[in-house]
Amino acid sequence: MEKQMNYTFPNKLRNLAIAFMVAGLLGLSYGFLSAPSTIEESKAIIAASHGDGHGVDHGESITESHGPNSEHDLTESHKNEESHNDSAAGHGQSINHEKSHDAEHDEHVFHQLSNKPWAALYVAAFFFFMISLGTLAFYAIQRAAQAGWSPVLYRVMEGITGYLLPGGIIVITLLLLSSMHFNHLFIWMDPEVVAHDKLIAGKTGFLNTPFFLARAVFFLGGWTLYRFFSRKFSLAQDHASDISNHKKNFRISAAFLVFYIVTESMMSWDWIMSIDPHWFSTLFGWYVFASMFVSGITAIALITIYLKSKGYLEFVNDSHIHDLGKFMFGISVFWTYLWFSQFMLIWYSNIPEEVTYFITRIEDYNLPFFGMLVMNFIFPLLILMNSDYKRINYFIVMSGIVILLGHYMDVYNMIMPSAVGDQWYIGASEIGGFFFFLGLFIFIVFKELTKAPLLAKGDPYMGESERFHY
Amino acid sequence: MSNSNQFIHALYDDDDTLLSAVKEIRSEKYNIEEVYTPFPVHGLDKALGLEDTRIAIMAFIYGCIGFIVSIAMMNFIMIEDWPQNIGGKPSFSYLENMPAFVPIMFEMTVFFAAHLMVITFYMRSKLWPFKKAENPNPLTTDDKFLVEIELHDNEKVLKSILKKSGAIDISIIEKQE
């Protein structure tokens, strides 16, 4: 047999990944340290950020109007508890109401600010985990469909899904920390909240911490199990004399897809939708699926192009890239279709408990909300529409980076408004979280790529895939 | 053009054979007039050296026209001519009602692109209803492939090339115009 060249993880890339992780950790720790630990600190942060966040003229007017107000708050905050007992005449009552409202607001903002680094960490952890899970679904579809074009890319996909278990464990650890009340990401985990909230109380049969964590472990366990066996059969097929491993892989892939589409949907309710336990959307699972699917395919394309540019994957030609480009284009449109289906129905019916989701996002998150639409739809639509562009690495890489950042924004828009409300900005913890998990993702994925030959040479469709030409 | 009116017809029974035959004939510097196939053969356009189709560009332009028409249409119907209160949204602004119009904008884009593309294709291929078929051999609507080459006193050489390339039947016909 000809020599099988294994991939070696270049030191430069390894160092870059480690540098990302270190820088990300620094950003994250700064984010956690600078988060307020008391209500007073949170108020000071708000006052400061209002002072220098705006233009000079505007800023002055805000500090003027805010100045006396916040002093007022500071001096009288201890009186607020008593204000409930005062039952004075009409005029006095309204003042008291305002005061207690102020205190509630301050506490609310404090919770949002102390949630912020946790939420940023969670967004980044989930985003990179989602890439790996989306790739696993794409891989299973190729296996179950017995695709002839894609076997040359199997090892790249298997490399990306190598991140599934570590990434999943990190996400579940964060969920566990939430359930131990290290943060208030999932307010339904707080018995105090549930006691005063009829709607959440009605959902405790499903939304309770033990069941929630058990489900999470079950989901990840199922996905990991498929990944483990599929990888095992794929490696065994390399040196097999018959195609029994290939057939086994076909069977477990079909079974996995059934398991996946149910568990993925429930995972999206659990891990994302339940952050805002009053709101629900029946197609949320599909929406999250489209996001992870297109992110996964884009990651496959980017890593394939990177490896090819380094002289590996000599059997991958521009027709394979073209097909990945078509998927990136098609699933981007699919994502938009689901996004719009969700948006339009809620916008049209205008039911208060539903529409609040989009009102928060349009009012408080205007730029990321509509910016994400441009990045995830308009940009790939116009760039990847042309058939020839899908064969040019430059266009795939450029639109791929925009799509990945766009879907990071998508996850950000799903999680942040429910977790921190209007107290958002892209700060140290957001950038740090992104870079930490980017580094970890690169480190684990490329490490996994070194473990097996980059060509799954035993696959019965390999010949067809190598000759694949459009 | 000095047309001889004489054509040679070579029949093939496999699309892969046809593809390699077309490449062979062209490498011998013979000009293929036309190829008749029962289904679109992948890669035949490239093997024949045909120019890339420009219908994709037209599809984009037609889509844009449909998009603009839909906006003008919905703006006239729903905003200017007869504003209605639907779902408590008696808005007199196109932009504020835009999400409700997106499905129509999408459908009209597809409608225009698809229909105008078909009409363009018919016009470019000189096809119209009740036109008599130009197909020289009805077998090409079943499972055979036919290559048509103009003949100029090179019958013998051409025949041997075609035979070698895997043709199952070679005939010479005369066209009256």
Residue A95 and residue A101: Cα distance in Å, rounded? Answer: 10
Residues of A whose CB is below 8 A from B99: 340, 343-344, 347-348
Q: Is the CB of residue B60 less than 8 Å away from at least one CB of chain A? A: yes
Let me know: does B5 contact B177? Beta carbons within 8 Å: yes
CB contact under 8 A, A385 and B60: yes
Residue A312 and residue A455: Cα distance in Å, rounded? Answer: 10
Residue A329 and residue A385: Cα distance in Å, rounded? Answer: 7
**Residue A252's pLDDT is what?**
96
Domain tally for chain A? Answer: 1
Residues of A whose CB is below 8 A from B89: 348, 350
Domain ranges of chain B: 6-38+143-174, 55-124
Kindly state the percentage of chain A with pLDDT values over 90. 68
Phi/psi at B8 (5° precision): -110, 130
Let me know: does A104 contact A111? Beta carbons within 8 Å: no
Let me know: does A51 contact A452? Beta carbons within 8 Å: no
DSSP string, B64-101: HHHHHHHHHHHIIIIIII-----TT-----TTTTHHHH
Let me know: does B150 contact B25? Beta carbons within 8 Å: no
What DSSP character marks residue A378? I
Cβ contacts from A onto B, under 8 A: 18
Cα nearest neighbour of A344 on chain B: B99
**Residue A216's pLDDT is what?**
96
Range of the domain at A305: 11-34+116-467
End-to-end CA distance of chain B: 14
Q: Which residue of A340, A350, A387 is in closest CB contact with B88? A: A350
Q: Would you say residue A76 has pLDDT above 50?
A: no
**Residue B96's pLDDT is what?**
87
Radius of gyration of chain A (CA): 25
**Residue B157's pLDDT is what?**
86
Side by side, which strands form the sheet with B169-174? B32-36, B145-150, B6-12, B169-174
- pLDDT tens track for A241-298: 899 999 999 999 999 999 999 999 999 999 999 999 999 999 999 999 999 999 999 9
Q: Is residue A66 part of a domain?
A: no
Residue A75 banded pLDDT, cuts 50, 70, 90: very low
**Residue A213's pLDDT is what?**
96
Q: Is residue A128 part of a domain?
A: yes
Q: Residue B165: which H helix or E strand, with range? A: none
Q: Residue A82: which H helix or E strand, with range? A: none
Residue B66 and residue A164: Cα distance in Å, rounded? Answer: 44
Q: Which residue of B56, B88, B102 is in closest CB contact with A387? A: B56
Q: Is residue A4 part of a domain?
A: no
CB contact under 8 A, A344 and B60: no
Residue A424 banded pLDDT, cuts 50, 70, 90: confident
- pLDDT tens track for A405-418: 999 999 999 999 98
Residues of B whose CB is below 8 A from A347: 99
Mean per-residue pLDDT over chain A, rounded = 86
Q: Is the CB of residue A37 less than 8 Å away from at least one CB of chain B? A: no
CB contact under 8 A, B102 and A344: yes
Let me know: does A150 contact A138? Beta carbons within 8 Å: no
Q: Is residue A104 part of a domain?
A: no
Q: Which of A389, A382, A405 is nearest to A298 (CA)?
A: A405
Q: Token digits for A50?
A: 């209002």
Q: Is residue A3 part of a domain?
A: no
Higher pLDDT, A38 or A327: A327
Shortest Cα–Cα distance, B123 to chain A (Å): 24
Topology adopted by domain B6-38+143-174: Alpha-Beta Plaits (3.30.70)
Q: Is residue A352 part of a domain?
A: yes
Q: Is residue A50 part of a domain?
A: no
**What's the one-letter identity of residue B91?**
S
**Residue A49's pLDDT is what?**
65
Residue A408 and residue A244: Cα distance in Å, rounded? Answer: 40
CB contact under 8 A, A348 and B102: no
What are the mean pLDDT values of chain B's consecutive 10-residue runs (177 residues total)? 74 91 89 91 88 90 96 94 82 88 95 96 90 87 91 84 89 78
Higher pLDDT, A54 or B173: B173
CB contact under 8 A, A344 and B56: no
Q: Is the CB of residue B123 less than 8 Å away from at least one CB of chain A? A: no
Q: Residue B12: which H helix or E strand, with range? A: strand B6-12
Lowest average pLDDT, out of A79-88, A92-101, A135-144, A196-205, goes to A79-88
Counting Cβ atoms within 10 Å, is residue A298 exposed (0-12), middle (13-18) or buried (19+)? buried
Q: Which residue of A340, A343, A350 is in closest CB contact with B87? A: A350
DSSP string, B149-163: EE-SS-HHHHHHHHH
Q: Would you say residue A100 has pLDDT above 80?
A: no
Q: Is residue A42 part of a domain?
A: no
DSSP string, A254-288: HHHHHHHHHHHHHHHHHHTGGGSTT---TTHHHHH
Residue with tokens 């521009």: A318
